[in-house]
Amino acid sequence: MFDKEKMSELARREAEWDEEVVQEWIKRVPERMERFSTSSGFEKRRLYTPNDVVGMDYQESLGFPGGYPFTRGLHATMYRGRLWTMRQFSGFGTAGESNRRFKYLLDEGETGLSVAFDFPTILGYDSDHPLSVGEVGVCGVAVSSLKDMEILFGGIPLDKVSTSMTINGPASVLLAMYTALGDAQGVPRDGLRGTTQNDMLKEFFAQNLCIFPPGPSVKLVTDIVEFCTRELPQWNPVSISGYHIREAGSTALQELAFTLANGVTYVESALERGLNVDDFAPRLSFFFAAHNDILEEVAKFRAARRIWAKLMKERFGARESRSMWMRMHVQTSGCALTAQQPVNNVIRVTMQTLAAVLGGAQSIHTNSFDEALALPSERAVRTALRTQQIVAHESGVADTIDPLGGAFSVEALTDEMEEGFWGYLDRIEKMGGVVRCIETGFFQREIADSSYEWQKEVERNERVVVGVNEYTSGDDWIPTRLLRVKQEAMGEQIEAVKRLKANRDKGKAQGALDRLRGDVEKDANLMPAIVEAVKAYITVGEVCDLFREMYGDYQELIVI
Amino acid sequence: MKVERKIRVLVAKPGLDSHDRGAKVVARALRDGGMEVIYTGLRQTPEQIVSAALQEDVDVLALSILSGAHLTLVPAVTQLMKERGLDDVLVLAGGVIPEEDLQILEEHGVAGIFGPGTPTGEIIEYIKGKLAERAGA
Nearest to A372 among B15, B72, B96 (CB): B96
With a pLDDT cut of 70, the percent of chain A lying above it is 97
**In chain A, domain spans:** 58-459
Per-residue model confidence (pLDDT) at position A485: 60
Per-residue model confidence (pLDDT) at position A513: 97
Please provide residue A191's backbone torsions phi and psi, each rounded to the nearest 5 degrees. -100, -5
Per-residue model confidence (pLDDT) at position A555: 84
Nearest to B28 among A465, A487, A560 (CB): A560
B117–A451 C-beta distance less than 8 A: no
Average pLDDT over residues A541-553: 96
Average pLDDT over residues A78-94: 84
Please provide residue B14's backbone torsions phi and psi, each rounded to the nearest 5 degrees. -80, 155
Bigger pLDDT: A505 vs A377: A505
- Write out chain A residues lying below 8 Å of B46, CB-based: none
As a whole number of angstroms, the distance between CA A298 and CA A416 comes to: 12
Residue A85 parent element (H or E): strand A85-86
Nearest Cα neighbor of B117 from A37, A446, A470, A289 is A470
As a whole number of angstroms, the distance between CA A532 and CA A535 comes to: 5
Average pLDDT over residues A265-285: 97
Per-residue model confidence (pLDDT) at position A341: 92
Per-residue model confidence (pLDDT) at position A41: 87
What digits encode the pLDDT tens for the residues A464-491? 999 999 999 876 666 555 556 666 668 8
Please provide residue A192's backbone torsions phi and psi, each rounded to the nearest 5 degrees. -85, 130
B98–A482 C-beta distance less than 8 A: yes
Strand positions, DSSP E, A292-347: 327-332
Q: Read off the pLDDT band of A89 (50, 70, 90).
A: confident
As a whole number of angstroms, the distance between CA A84 and CA A81 comes to: 10
CATH number of the A58-459 domain: 3.20.20.240
Dihedral (CA of B90, B95, B100, B105) sign: negative
3-class DSSP assignment, residue A304: helix
Average pLDDT over residues A51-63: 93
Q: Which residue of B has its CA nearest to A465?
A: B117
Nearest Cα neighbor of A251 from A471, A33, A416, A469 is A416
How high is the ipTM of this complex? 0.89
Strand positions, DSSP E, B33-103: 36-39, 60-65, 90-95
Average pLDDT over residues A156-185: 95
Domain with residue B16: its CATH number is: 3.40.50.280
As a whole number of angstroms, the distance between CA A429 and CA A229 comes to: 28
- Write out chain A residues lying below 8 Å of B115, CB-based: 339
Residue B3 lies in a domain: no
Whether chain B has a CB inside 8 Å of the CB on A120: the answer is: yes
Average pLDDT over residues A215-222: 95
Average pLDDT over residues A147-171: 93
As a whole number of angstroms, the distance between CA B66 and CA A317 comes to: 44
Nearest to B20 among A122, A208, A335 (CB): A208
Name, in order, each residue with C-beta under 8 angstroms of A192's C-beta and a sequence gap of 6 or more. A158, A159, A178, A179, A182, A232, A234, A235
**Is A140 in contact with A91 (CB distance < 8 Å)?**
yes
As a whole number of angstroms, the distance between CA A520 and CA A526 comes to: 7
Q: Read off the pLDDT band of B2 (50, 70, 90).
A: low
Per-residue model confidence (pLDDT) at position B135: 84
- Write out chain B residues lying below 8 Å of A133, CB-based: 72
Average pLDDT over residues B84-103: 92
Nearest Cα neighbor of A201 from A159, A244, A232, A256 is A244
Distance from CA of A373 to the nearest CA of B (A): 6
Nearest to B15 among A135, A209, A478 (CB): A135
Residue B104 lies in a domain: yes
Whether chain B has a CB inside 8 Å of the CB on A3: the answer is: no
Per-residue model confidence (pLDDT) at position A379: 87
DSSP-derived letter for residue A239 is: E
As a whole number of angstroms, the distance between CA A403 and CA A418 comes to: 20
Q: Read off the pLDDT band of B67 (50, 70, 90).
A: confident
Least confident residue range of A89-93, A305-309, B85-89: A89-93
**Is A437 in contact with A443 (CB distance < 8 Å)?**
yes
3-class DSSP assignment, residue A337: coil
Q: Read off the pLDDT band of A103 (50, 70, 90).
A: confident
A69 preceded by a cis bond (ω within 30 of 0): yes
Per-residue model confidence (pLDDT) at position A484: 61
Bigger pLDDT: B98 vs B129: B129
Per-residue model confidence (pLDDT) at position A483: 56
Taking 80 as the threshold, does the pLDDT of residue A120 lie above it? yes
Taking 70 as the threshold, does the pLDDT of residue A370 lie above it? yes
As a whole number of angstroms, the distance between CA A459 and CA B117 comes to: 10
Taking 80 as the threshold, does the pLDDT of residue A344 lie above it? yes
Q: Classify strands B8-12 and B36-39 as parallel, antiparallel or unpaired.
A: parallel
What is chain A's mean pLDDT, rounded?
93
**Is B20 in contact with B64 (CB distance < 8 Å)?**
yes
Q: Which residue of A has its CA nearest to B96?
A: A373
- For chain B, which residues lie within 8 Å of any Cβ of chain A, measuring from their own Cβ? 15-18, 20-21, 24-25, 27-29, 31, 37, 39, 41-43, 45, 67-69, 71-73, 96, 98-100, 115-117, 119-121
Nearest to B117 among A125, A208, A340 (CB): A340
DSSP-derived letter for residue A58 is: I
Whether chain B has a CB inside 8 Å of the CB on A211: the answer is: no
Please provide residue A328's backbone torsions phi and psi, each rounded to the nearest 5 degrees. -130, 135
- Write out chain A residues lying below 8 Å of B28, CB-based: 448, 452, 560
Nearest to B41 among A248, A482, A558 (CB): A558
- Write out chain B residues lying below 8 Å of A372, CB-based: 96, 116-117
Whether chain B has a CB inside 8 Å of the CB on A483: the answer is: no
DSSP-derived letter for residue A22 is: I
What digits encode the pLDDT tens for the residues A228-248? 999 999 999 999 999 999 999
What is chain B's mean pLDDT, rounded?
92
For B126, the domain range is 8-136
Residue A383 parent element (H or E): helix A378-393
With a pLDDT cut of 90, the percent of chain A lying above it is 81
Domain count for chain B, please give it.
Answer: 1
